[in-house]
C-alpha cells in the first residue's frame, strides 16, 4: 500500500558513511510505500553511484564541501536532486564503458548504471547537479 509521502531537503558532508545513512533512509521510505524489491534495488544503486560521484569525484572528499540532496517519494515515482560543490563535468565526455577498448577498465561505469536503472536522468549547470527519477513499477511487473 502506498500511504507515506516522504520528502526531504538536506545537506550531507563529503563522507561516504553519511551517504550510506541517507541511502538507508530513502530505502526505508520506499519500503514504507511498498515499492518492489526490484525498484528499491534500482533506486539504491543509482543513489549510491551518484553520491559516490558527488563526494569522490565532485567534492574530492573535501571536508569543507558538502552535498545538497532533495528527494521525494510518492505513490507514483521517486525523485532526487544531488548537488555537489565540485567543478562539474560534461557527461558526454565520459568514455563509453561498454566500448571494446574500455570494457575491461577498472572504473567508469557509474553513469551507465544510473541511466540503466532510472527512468530519467539529467545533468544541469556545469555538470555538478544531477536530477533523476524512477517511475514506480506496477505490482506484478518485472
Partner 1 sequence: MASQPPRRRRLEVEDIGDIAVVNFVDKKILDEQNIQMIGDDLFRLVDELGRRKILLNFQNVEFMSSAALGKLIALHRKLQGVQGKLVLCKIAKDILDVFKITKLDKILTIVADEQTGLQSF
> Where along the sequence are the contacts to partner 1 (CB under 8 A)?
16, 20, 37-38, 41-42, 44-45, 48-49, 52, 97-98, 103-107, 109-110, 112-113, 116-117
Please state, in angstroms and rounded to a whole number, the distance separating the CA atoms of residues 19 and 58: 14
> In the complex with partner 1, which residue's Cβ is closer, 49 or 84?
49
Q: How far is the CB of 3 from partner 1 (least distance, A)?
A: 25
Q: How far is the CB of 8 from partner 1 (least distance, A)?
A: 22
> In the complex with partner 1, which residue's Cβ is closer, 118 or 133?
118
> In the complex with partner 1, which residue's Cβ is closer, 41 or 77?
41
Q: How far is the CB of 113 from partner 1 (least distance, A)?
A: 6
Q: What sign has the CA pseudo-torsion 16, 93, 135, 37?
A: negative
> In the complex with partner 1, which residue's Cβ is closer, 95 or 126?
95
Contacts for 105 with CB less than 8 Å, ≥ 6 apart: 95, 97
Q: How far is the CB of 109 from partner 1 (least distance, A)?
A: 4
CB burial of 76-114 (b: ≥16 within 10 Å; e: otherwise) equals eebbbbbbbbbeebeeeeeeebeeeeeeeeeeebbbebb
Amino acid at each position: 500500500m502506498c500511504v507515506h509521502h516522504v520528502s526531504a531537503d538536506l545537506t550531507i558532508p563529503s563522507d561516504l558513511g553519511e551517504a550510506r545513512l541517507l541511502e538507508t533512509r530513502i530505502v526505508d521510505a520506499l519500503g514504507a510505500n511498498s515499492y518492489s524489491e526490484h525498484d528499491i534495488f534500482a533506486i539504491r544503486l543509482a543513489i549510491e553511484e551518484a553520491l559516490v560521484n558527488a563526494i569522490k569525484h565532485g567534492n574530492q572528499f573535501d571536508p569543507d564541501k558538502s552535498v545538497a540532496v532533495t528527494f521525494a517519494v510518492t505513490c507514483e515515482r521517486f525523485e532526487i536532486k544531488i548537488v555537489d560543490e565540485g567543478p562539474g563535468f560534461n557527461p558526454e565526455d565520459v568514455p563509453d564503458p561498454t566500448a571494446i577498448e574500455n570494457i575491461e577498465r577498472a572504473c567508469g561505469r557509474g553513469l551507465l548504471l544510473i541511466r540503466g536503472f532510472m527512468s530519467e536522468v539529467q545533468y544541469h549547470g556545469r555538470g555538478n547537479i544531477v536530477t533523476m527519477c524512477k517511475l514506480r513499477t506496477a505490482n506484478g511487473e518485472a
